[in-house]
Amino acid sequence: MSKQLTEMGYTEFQELIENYIARSAQEDDAVPASTFLELLFTALSRRVQNIVRIEGQVINDELIFLPPKEETPLQVQGNQILLGNLRVVVTLKRKLQPT
Amino acid sequence: MQVVIPEAFTIRHQDVVTRYLADDRQLNSAEWQLLYQGIDILDTAWFQTEVGTYTFRQLYQHHVDDYLATPYLERLLALDDIEAQSPKLIAEFARRIAPRLQQAGLLLPDAPPTWLFYTYCVYWWQNFARGYAFEIQIVRDLRASGIELHTHDIRDPVERRSVADLVVLNMTGDIKTSTYFLRLASSHGLLNDFYVTRLWAGKQQRMLVVFQKPAAWETIDGDTVEGELFDLLHLLPQPVKLQQGDTTLIVVDYETWKRRVLQVQRREHDDE
């Protein structure tokens, strides 16, 4: 392992950053295409694995979510799903009445 | 004032960050992964001050993005030749970060943990600045090629954060450098129909490509050849279908993609 960032003198650190600024202003990160693809598909497959299943019932024409059966980061409340500061409100579309 | 770096940010992360700053061409695949992981961990590092606790991400937003983004984009949009002129502008704005952080007491010569915050800010700034230079360059090229498109207004801080950068043939798309593309894939998945990006095809050669969802590729009527991740560069410029687990993406060379889009748009006009 080479000398760590926080083990350098301040002047040496400033030089390192200045060289980085000059170089990275010119070019993207030099991630080889094969590495990029590997990281991309790994990231996407991880996301696909993060599936949270919830069930709902239609009661008196209203969609009501049931509490998740397993531990998840989301909560449900009636027809709403709460995740962090996000509130997803799901409303059923009424069927058109035949004329 | 105290800087708290999460324990998850290990000496290996710091080592790879240091080596990345010195010369990113020396990193191997595992080290790139480690670098991105380390930067993600630093999102949640924080400063404990007398007035409160603020994460690196929050402080970056306030002291760098809010301070530099709009003036930078105004100057960038005024350039005639983005590819040739933007590097000087990007570096000029990056050099404004240190004085700003020093003034706010967030970069101190005798407090090495604050150097990590400065590094984090410069890393994200460079990615932001290069990302928009790339976006403007591509949008200008698409317009010059005669492609009809709608774009978001990058001068507007709210619209700038919209999910899609542009709409072509009713398909939503994004123009992203490879770092942002990976970050997006990890955090939000791929919400748009297509993504224009550039890949490193060798030590010095970059290649413009478009990643598309299969339905988007069908819209512009294309055949594909099956490919594996390792042989993509050998198969391009043919449109290549990559499949890993549940994810399928079609990768096509940018010039081929433009030609196909233009053909469909012209056909649509002829039918009207």
ipTM of this predicted complex? 0.90
Q: At residue B224, what are phi and psi to the nearest 5 degrees?
A: -140, 165
In a domain? residue B141: no
Residues of A in contact with B109 (CB under 8 A): 10
- Residue B143 falls inside a structural domain: no
Does B34 map to a domain? yes
Q: What is the pLDDT of residue A70?
A: 66
- The reported pLDDT for the residue numbered B114 is 95
Determine, for residues B232 and A36 on separate chains, whether the beta-carbon distance falls below 8 Å.
no
Same domain, B100 and B189: no
Residue A41 shares a structural domain with residue A14: yes
The answer on A41 and A13 residing in a single domain is: yes
Q: How many residues does chain B have?
A: 272
In total, chain A counts a number of residues equal to 99
The chain A residue lying nearest B204, using CA atoms, is A30
User: B210, B192 in Cβ contact below 8 A?
Assistant: no
Give the three-class secondary structure for B6. Answer: coil
Q: What is the pLDDT of residue A99?
A: 44
Domain of B167, in residue numbers: 148-271
Kindly provide the residue ranges of all beta strands, DSSP E only, lying in chain B, ordered along the sequence: 2-4, 46-49, 52-55, 150-151, 166-168, 171-175, 194-200, 206-212, 225-227, 240-244, 247-253
A25·B246 Cβ contact <8 A: no
Dihedrals φ, ψ of A25, to 5°?
A: -70, -20
For B253-270, how does the pLDDT look when each residue is reduced to its tens digit (9 = 90+)?
Answer: 999 999 999 999 998 888
**Whether B130 and B156 share a structural domain:** no
Query: Looking at the 3D structure of chain B, how many domains does it have?
Result: 2
Looking at residue B189, what is its pLDDT? 79
Verify that A11 and A32 share a domain, yes or no: yes
How many Cα atoms occupy the beta-carbon half-sphere of B63 within 13 Å?
Answer: 26
In a domain? residue B142: no
Contacts of B115 in chain A (CB under 8 A): 5-6, 10, 13
Distance from CA of A50 to the nearest CA of B (A): 11
Does B77 score more than 80 pLDDT?
yes
| Chosen from B10, B25, B28, B207 to mutate, greatest number of chain A CBs within 10 A | B25
pLDDT classification of B232: cutoffs 50, 70, 90: confident
- Both A65 and A36 in a single domain? no
Based on the domain organization, do B113 and B166 belong to the same domain? no
Residue B157 sits in the same domain as residue B237? yes
**Shared domain check, B45 and B83:** yes
pLDDT of amino acid A50: 62
Residue A98 lies in a domain: no
Statement to judge: residues B164 and B132 lie in one domain? no
B11 and B132 housed in the same domain: yes
In angstroms, the CA B268 to CA B272 distance is: 6
Distance CA A48, CA A50 (A): 5
Whether residues B122 and B18 fall in one domain = yes
Residues B48 and B159 in one domain: no
Find the closest chain B residue to A48 by CA distance. B246
Q: Which of B200, B198, B141 is nearest to B166 (CA)?
A: B141
Q: CA of B45: how far to CAs of B109, B120, B198, in Å?
A: 19, 10, 31
User: For residue A10, what is the nearest residue in chain B, using CA coordinates?
Assistant: B109
Residues B72 and B163 in one domain: no
- Å from A53 to nearest chain B CA? 18
Q: Which domain holds residue A41?
A: 7-49
In a domain, A32, yes or no: yes
Shared domain for A45 and A68, answered yes or no, is no
pTM score, two decimals?
0.83
**Dihedral sign of CA atoms B47, B48, B54, B59 in order:** negative
Cβ within 8 Å, pair A21-B126: yes
Whole-number Å distance between alpha carbons of B236 and B256: 10
